[in-house]
Amino acid sequence: MSIKLNFANAARASRDPQGGSLDPTVLGNRATGLLGETSAPVSKEASATTSAADGISNWVLGGNAAMRRIAQSIQRAAEVECTVLISGETGTGKELWARLLHRSGPRKDKTFIPVNCAALTPSLAESQLFGHEKGAFTGAQGRSLGIFRAAQGGVIFLDEIGEMPAELQPKLLRVLQQREVLPVGASVPVPIDVQVVAATNRNLEVEVEKGSFREDLYYRLNMIELRVPSLRDRMEDIPEFINFFTRQYAVKYRLPVWRPSAEVLEQFCLFDWPGNVRQLSHVIEQAYVLQIEPQLPVRAGAVKNAMRSGGLPCLDLTKLRQQAIKQALDTTRGHKARAAKLLGVHANTLTRMLRDDGLAE
């Protein structure tokens, strides 16, 4: 499934709203930016630059009731400075909500530090998070504050908390309970003042039942738990996302605002967007960069087309996923990062899918 973004037609349409194309602005003027400027290098999700006063209204794109409830909870969590657990699929904007919380509360003038827990290794993670003293281990030639002390007074965002090594979980629990860290090689704990926001694309309740995530840590983290809906659960907001992203990238790349026809807009709204908002943003930006037909993920497109034709050619979703993965890898000649982009998922997610489906080398 491919969709042609015709910038020449877009330029004419911007001058002639009656020329047969649909101006997404008529679908609602609330599109003010769930995804704003580019984020810090640690994360691939973008951040907005709105002030704390109007941040909530600017980040809740569309009229989805669940998003409004999340916004209200974020505001409350920022005020009381409690721990927050944000759950949702990859690409739904979990870090965006964490950054909004940071800007909406009394810690807005302090630092915000994102940490990818999936990238932590047991041998180094304790030092990275909690710091170390000089000579604490081979190679420790000086003292290190660690991430928690570096974020003093601010907010730490623990992304992919479900991937945190098991041996680190009790140490994080102690930090949350005692509000202090014990640097590697130190004998005296150091008090800290940070607000912790964690995020996961896993069901941590299931992980607790399996024994891979500590139950006490789970309850300590989810003083307020926010579940961010997937884009397919808020399809009514897709036209407004398109409106926002096309205007954003038109300014960035100095090109006319793309105004999709009603038919193309319908195709976008019917697509299930497995990569969620991030994937939609990528598809539109890719079109502005390359000015070519963007290739939407084969897996979801195949399912949608089959449903329209009256039935699925293959009812085994695992086989459909495997076929899509194999096709993406063939297209990219085995380059996993590019294949993940084609599929609209994070590279780590593709690696896990390959392992789960027995396709890993």
Residue 143 contacts residue 131 (beta carbons within 8 Å): yes
Residues 18 and 127 both lie in one domain: no
How many residues are present in the chain?
361
181, 203, 227 - which closes a domain: 227
Q: How far apart, in Å, do the first and last CA atoms of the chain sit?
A: 29
How many structural domains comprise the chain? 2
Domain that holds residue 339: 7-25+234-356
**Among candidate residues 157, 180, 43, 158, the one with its CA nearest the CA of residue 102:** 157
- Provide DSSP, 128-157: HHH-B-TTSSTT--S-B-HHHHHTTTSEEE
Residues 172 and 256 both lie in one domain: no
Instruction: Supply the pLDDT for residue 136.
Output: 67
Q: What is the mean pLDDT of the chain?
A: 76
Instruction: Supply the pLDDT for residue 52.
Output: 37
Task: Flag whether 43 is in a domain.
Answer: no
The structure's pTM equals 0.66
- Mean pLDDT to the nearest integer, 323-333: 76
Residues 210 and 271 both lie in one domain: no
Eight-class DSSP state of 45? S
Domain containing residue 148: CATH number: 3.40.50.300
What is the C-alpha to C-alpha distance for residues 244 and 262, in angstroms, rounded to an integer? 17
Task: Flag whether 41 is in a domain.
Answer: no
Residues 201 and 87 both lie in one domain: yes
Q: What's the number of CA atoms in the CB half-sphere (13 Å) around residue 311? A: 3
What is the C-alpha to C-alpha distance for residues 55 and 34, in angstroms, rounded to an integer? 10
For 109, phi and psi rounded to 5 degrees? -90, 0
162, 197, 227 - which closes a domain: 227
211, 227, 243 - which closes a domain: 227
Residue 136 contacts residue 94 (beta carbons within 8 Å): no
Residues 324 and 203 both lie in one domain: no
Longest dimension (CA), the chain: 74
Cross-strand pairs, 86: 199, 226
Task: Flag whether 202 is in a domain.
Answer: yes
Instruction: Supply the pLDDT for residue 10.
Output: 41
Task: Flag whether 348 is in a domain.
Answer: yes
Least confident of 49-53, 117-121, 181-185: 49-53
Structure confidence at residue 190 as a pLDDT band (50, 70, 90): very high
- Provide DSSP, 153-209: TSEEEEETGGGS-GGGHHHHHHHHHHSEE--BT-SS-EE---EEEEEESS-HHHHHH
Residues 248 and 349 both lie in one domain: yes
**Among candidate residues 156, 213, 204, 212, the one with its CA nearest the CA of residue 179:** 156
Residues 207 and 244 both lie in one domain: no
Residues 121 and 191 both lie in one domain: yes
Eight-class DSSP state of 224? E
Least confident of 97-101, 110-114, 254-258: 254-258
CB atoms within 10 A of CB 106: 12
Residue 121 or 273, more confident: 273
Most confidently predicted of 81-85, 118-122, 281-285: 81-85
Task: Flag whether 146 is in a domain.
Answer: yes
Task: Flag whether 72 is in a domain.
Answer: no
Task: Flag whether 34 is in a domain.
Answer: no
